[in-house]
């Protein structure tokens, strides 16, 4: 009888420990889901983003873009953080003028540096320079010119919401062939379960394009969750959208998937 009671006691203690660990992991995941809704959060992360674009051009061609997007924040003074964001695109680009053909390679690398207050108020903001570096492996995959321009992020986070805007406009000063706007309005709602829903359409404008060919504007939504694999948090996102405004050769609709590896304890200080 004593052995049975001891066994029950040990099993009960083990079960309680497991439940407590799972509750702690769920709490950590929920906190990270809310914190990472802020693009200026002081968390090192490695997002890998997969974009699948359908219906490009007269022949309804398929395009895919895989972005590696490391984010490295650091403290550069008692009152200022620097958030470094890099986008390295790998592009499968069809020749939209015909039914077959295209190219695959690396596009132009984009780097943005956001200077942001170390202590945020109700309005969180960051400003700095953005650079477009001509690393493309083919002329089909991006401009041949170096570009620079201003960039900003501004948001507020009332309750479980995150509402904001990020934008930049990059221009080249060689031949003026590069002059483009990138803007992303984001609305995110995070649930206590670490699930979240969001809309964050990526709006682009090529100011050098002819009238009627300037804008690409998608409308859509996506959802995701932060999951703990042991002590490693990973954020998963998936969704899609339809382009309500696009150039003639642009895609009609898209699917989007993203995996984000989070390293909340490794940010430089």
Q: What is the pLDDT of residues 139-184, one digit of tens each?
A: 999 999 999 999 999 999 999 999 999 999 999 988 888 999 999 9
Range with the lowest mean pLDDT among 15-19, 113-117, 132-136?
15-19
Q: Cα–Cα distance between 195 and 242 in angstroms, integer?
A: 23
Tell me the pLDDT band of 26, cut-offs 50, 70 and 90: confident
- In the chain, the number of structural domains is 1
Residue 93 Cα distances to 54, 97, 103, angstroms: 12, 12, 5
Tell me the pLDDT band of 25, cut-offs 50, 70 and 90: low
Task: Answer yes or no: is 46 within a domain.
Answer: yes
Residue 39: φ, ψ to 5°? -65, -10
Task: Answer yes or no: is 220 within a domain.
Answer: yes
> Percent of the chain having pLDDT more than 90?
86
Task: Answer yes or no: is 269 within a domain.
Answer: no
Q: Cα–Cα distance between 197 and 155 in angstroms, integer?
A: 17
Mean pLDDT of the chain: 91
pLDDT tens sequence across 141-150: 999 999 999 9
| DSSP structure string for 121-188 | -SEEEEEEEEEEE---SSGGGS-SS-EEEEEEEEEE--TTEEEEEEEEEEEESSSS--EEEEEEEEEE
Sign of the dihedral defined by the CA atoms of residues 166, 67, 70, 137, in that order? negative
User: Does the pLDDT of residue 20 top 80, yes or no?
Assistant: no
Asked if 228 and 29 touch (Cβ cutoff 8 Å), the reply is yes
Residue holding tokens 């009627």? 212
Across the range 11-37, mean pLDDT stands at 66
- Residue 178 sits in a domain whose CATH number is 2.40.160.40
User: Does the pLDDT of residue 62 top 50, yes or no?
Assistant: yes
Task: Answer yes or no: is 268 within a domain.
Answer: no
CA-based nearest residue to 93, from 107, 104, 77, 106: 104
Task: Answer yes or no: is 165 within a domain.
Answer: yes
Q: Cα–Cα distance between 21 and 113 in angstroms, integer?
A: 38
pLDDT of residue 176: 83
Task: Answer yes or no: is 182 within a domain.
Answer: yes
Task: Answer yes or no: is 155 within a domain.
Answer: yes
Task: Answer yes or no: is 69 within a domain.
Answer: yes
Domain housing 151: 2-263
């Amino acid at each position: 009888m004593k052995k049975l009671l001891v066994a029950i006691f040990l099993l009960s203690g083990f079960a309680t420990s497991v439940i407590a660990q799972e509750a702690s992991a769920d709490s950590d995941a929920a906190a990270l889901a809310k914190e990472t809704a802020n693009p200026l959060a002081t968390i090192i992360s490695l997002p890998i983003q997969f974009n699948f674009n359908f219906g490009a051009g007269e022949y309804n061609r398929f395009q895919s873009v895989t972005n590696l997007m490391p984010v490295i924040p650091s403290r550069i003074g008692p009152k200022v953080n620097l958030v470094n964001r890099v986008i390295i695109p790998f592009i499968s680009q069809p020749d939209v003028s015909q039914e077959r053909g295209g190219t695959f390679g690396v596009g132009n690398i984009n780097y943005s540096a956001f200077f942001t207050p170390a202590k945020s108020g109700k309005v969180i903001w960051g400003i700095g320079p953005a650079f477009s570096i001509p690393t493309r492996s083919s002329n089909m995959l991006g401009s041949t010119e170096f570009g620079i321009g201003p960039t900003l992020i501004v948001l507020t986070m009332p309750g479980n919401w995150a509402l904001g805007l990020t934008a930049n406009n990059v221009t080249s000063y060689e031949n003026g062939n590069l002059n483009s706007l990138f803007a992303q309005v984001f609305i995110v709602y995070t649930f206590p379960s670490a699930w979240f829903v969001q809309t964050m359409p990526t709006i682009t404008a090529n100011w050098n394009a002819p009238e009627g060919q300037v804008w690409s504007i998608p409308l859509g939504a996506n959802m995701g969750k932060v999951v703990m694999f042991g002590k490693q948090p990973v954020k998963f996102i998936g969704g899609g959208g339809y382009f309500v405004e696009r150039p003639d050769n642009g895609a009609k609709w898209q699917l989007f998937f993203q995996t984000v590896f989070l390293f909340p304890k490794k940010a430089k200080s």
